Amino acid sequence: MARKPIIAGNWKMNMTNEQAKVLIEGLKPLVKDAKKTEVVICVPYTDIATAVSLCAGSNIKVGAENVAWAEKGAFTGEISADMLLELGTEYVIIGHSERRQYFGETDSSVNARLKTAVAKGLKPIVCVGETLEQREKNRTKSVIRKQVTLGLADLSEEDILNTVIAYEPVWAIGTGKTATSEQAEETIKFIRGVIAKMYTRKIANKVRIQYGGSMNPKNVKELMAMPNIDGGLIGGASLKAEDFSLVVNFDK
């Protein structure tokens, strides 16, 4: 079964409501004909209501950048799945390297957030990836294997099929450095193999795995030509309508 490519923008801590309106209104006509690619923008919590309203009736889906593992309670600063769903959120990023680096996310907390997300019906984009030090010490596969097996632990086959994996080499995020298409393909193929051992090869062949390390208009075609790369989690290029649309329309 062919896997539908998914291009998801990760705005990070950028864009006020007014800036979000300008960006989305500029983006909609540029990606409206992208029928073969799923288009998602993952925006700050404060922009979700605006994004959902402006994207209604378009082919752009809206996601959040994180979700709490608890339904409610004394968790200052967290946002629950129910809160996101009430606003019309469809996707959610979980375990981004910046969350792991700056806010103490672990494979265990990623798994807890993931289980809550899928139980509530959100579609997760789960991030995995190695640092430059880990790659230079030839630990890429061991790090990735641990992140995938612990982060995705105890998911049902149905849930894993509704989960997107984003491979984001930490050394290529926001640095301008990009893994070569061969490096990205090799690691994403390895991730698919880990999933095959956790489930089955048939299941693994249906799971969408993105590349998330500085994908942009200049390298998107080469990366997307790889057989195991099913899209991208886009950072900087998602903040400019024209640049993001060029990534979305990579096959034009």
Structure token digits, residue 33: 């004909």
Domain 123-230 has CATH 3.20.20.70: yes
Task: Provide the residue ranges of all domains of the chain, joining segments of one domain with +.
Answer: 1-19+33-65, 123-230
DSSP per residue over 60-71, as a string? Answer: EEEEES---SSS
User: pLDDT tens for residues 86-122?
Assistant: 999 999 999 999 999 999 999 999 999 999 999 999 9
pTM (whole model) above 0.75: yes
**Angle formed at CA 194 by CA 63 and CA 122, multiple of 5 degrees:** 20
SS3 39: strand
User: pLDDT tens for residues 43-90?
Assistant: 999 999 999 999 999 999 999 999 999 999 999 999 999 999 999 999
Catalytic residue numbers read: 96, 168
